[in-house]
Chain A
Amino acid sequence: MNRSLILGCLLSALFILAALVSFVWTPFDAEALNIPVRLKGPNNTNLLGTDHFGRDILSLLMVGARTSIAVALVAVGIGMGLGVPLGLWAAARRGSLIDEVIMRGNDLVFAFPSLVIAILITAVFGAGAINAIIAIGIFNIPVFARITRGAALSLWEREFILAARVAGKSAARISFEHILPNVTNLLIVQGTIQFSLGILAEAGLSYVGLGAQPPTPSWGRMLADAQTMVSIAPHMALMPGFAIILTVLGLNLMGDGLRDLLDPRLRRMRT
């Protein structure tokens, strides 16, 4: 086991745990306004301080983690759900028109400045978590399609696939029964990375007011609220920032560690 994987798993677990615990318990009611204790720095009662409405920042962060997870998870789901079948299809029909169409379509989505389009989508269809998910999810599709196709192409050359073809299995059955299980590792690693990118993207969209809407707490919105207060209550900006950084760092370390662990080629290079 390598150290970055352990650290990554710990940080990610902490983040997921915080979100799960928030369903049954938070130190304070995350939405309860308590003006007398507004803008308090970290102290014994409010471990991470309070915001401009006197809300407990730790509680807000815990509930906000739910928003981040929900948005990033569904966005990765969209990317995998559409991208993986497309990638498998393109690989199964390599060199054909459909392969060309899928890959050029991928290039096109890649060429779009994702942030601009995400902003366009959320602006036109209304700001909100659902539209943020769709906007982020669309840009996950080509990532998964490309990585699946790349891995599947080399698998199609292998003998066990040839055996399956000789046995009379259709390309679709081979793709799902033999190719897919062999690219799962790769998809897990990429999924982790896209998940962390999704969290960053959600924070960015919420920060400019196009993500989750009030009263749903979200880390990006907490930062937006903090911006005008940054000189009098820096902790309001610091705490959500640290939450984002630690989470993204944890997921990235976990992704890197998993790649090393799951890819025997890399493991051999190490030793």
Chain B
Amino acid sequence: MLMLRYTLKRLLSLVISLAVASVVIFTVIEVAPGDPASFMLGMNAQPETLAALRTELGLDTSKPERYFSWVAGMLSGDFGTSYTYRTPVADMVQQRMWVSLPLALYALTLSTLIAFPAGIYAASRRGRAGDVGVMGATQLGVAIPNFWFAMMLVLLFSIKLRWFAAGGFVGWDKGLFAGLHSLTLPAIALALPQAAILARVMRSALLDVLGEDFMRTARAKGLTARQALWRHGLRNAMIPVLTIIGLQFSFLLAGGIIIEQVFYLPGLGRLIFQSISARDLIVVESVTMLLVFAVIFVNFTVDLAYAAVDPRLRARA
């Protein structure tokens, strides 16, 4: 019962968030200077052609009308038609998704694989040289801009060692390995700063748990420090760690934008950039909304996952 109430409450706030987000995005795009129709046809367009195109694009209807038809379209999977490519935005998104989504997952996997051992190691060596070393490395990791790190990776692994291509994506039809291979450098560049943050969270979550009474009890009943850490410590330290992983996934999905630029990857981020420079605003509008939806939805799922794991959260809400 509590779980159901909690879910409904979260669902309501999800819907409100999405509604507000869609209004904000629509408004920002609406006030954008420049008329897409005249932009597409150039300076010397005939007024009649311009008017015809405006009707075709639905630009001659009122703002609220346009807003609701946009939202209704999105809800039924129709994201509009690109002004420049004349193809449905949904198709373009689907194509690009196959780059951005695997990239985000790849980076998240790498980040977790680096951060967990590093965080656990640092916590178990608290205050000693190993801890100081790991923490120093994470300070550096947080300070490095990922697009700069990407350039350094290209310099070393593509230009000097020639192990990876400097950019572009071969496509999944060349096989899983080839696809992953061409996403490796971008994924590393994305993962590094995230791993640094995650390792710090892992360490501090573990240190919090290590001070708890149940850890002392575990030691008192005869477990070694290591056994207590693995059996009782880790599981209880997972809550803050999971939050950050959830946040990082949505960040990686949306934050890949700049990295996609560095590596010329045909993902959602590049699509946004290309559409912005072509003033293809319907694409910008729909893709932004989609990314916002992804972020809000991931956060919603993480919240529910917690409540399922930790009954206290349900009661508090």
Contact = CB atoms under 8 A, between A and B. Distances in A.
Interface of A: 104, 107-108, 111-113, 115-117, 119-121, 123-126, 196, 200, 203-204, 207-208, 223, 226-227, 230-231, 234, 237, 240-241, 244-246, 248-249, 252-253
Given A108-B17, A123-B284, A249-B140, A113 B250 contact: yes
Nearest to A231: B159
B296 A111 contact: yes
Contacts of A227: 151, 262
Contact of A108 (B21, B151, B258, B291): B21
A203 B31 CA distance: 27
A208 B21 contact: no
Interface in B153-173: 154-155, 159
A208 B261 contact: yes
Nearest to B32: A124
B273 A223 contact: no
Interface residues of B, number: 43
B25 interface: yes
B295 A120 contact: no
B69 interface: no
Nearest to B159: A231
A125 B31 CA distance: 9
Given A120-B288, A200-B145, A252-B142, A237 B151 contact: yes
Interface of B: 13, 16-17, 20-21, 25, 28-29, 31-33, 139-140, 142-145, 147-148, 151-152, 154-155, 159, 250-251, 253-255, 257-258, 261-262, 272-273, 276, 284, 288, 291-292, 295-296, 299
B154 A116 contact: no
B268 to A, nearest CB: 9
Contacts of A115: 254-255, 257-258
A84 B100 CA distance: 37
B267 to A, nearest CB: 13
The interface centre, meaning the residue of A107, A121, A124, A226 with most chain B CB atoms within 10 A of its CB, is: A124
A208 B273 contact: yes
B141 to A, nearest CB: 10
Contact of B148 (A121, A124, A196, A241): A241
> How would you classify the secondary structure of chain A's contact residues: helix, strand, loop or mixed?
helix
A230 B159 contact: yes
Given A230-B155, A249-B140, A116 B273 contact: no
A253 B139 contact: yes
Contact of A124 (B29, B139, B142, B292): B29
Contacts of B31: 124
28 contacts: A104-B16, A108-B20, A111-B295, A111-B296, A112-B292, A113-B291, A113-B292, A116-B254, A116-B257, A116-B291, A119-B257, A120-B25, A120-B288, A124-B29, A200-B145, A207-B145, A208-B273, A223-B145, A223-B147, A227-B262, A230-B154, A234-B155, A237-B151, A240-B148, A241-B144, A245-B140, A252-B142, A252-B143
Contacts of A234: 155
Residue from B145, B159, B284 having most chain A Cβ neighbours under 10 A: B145
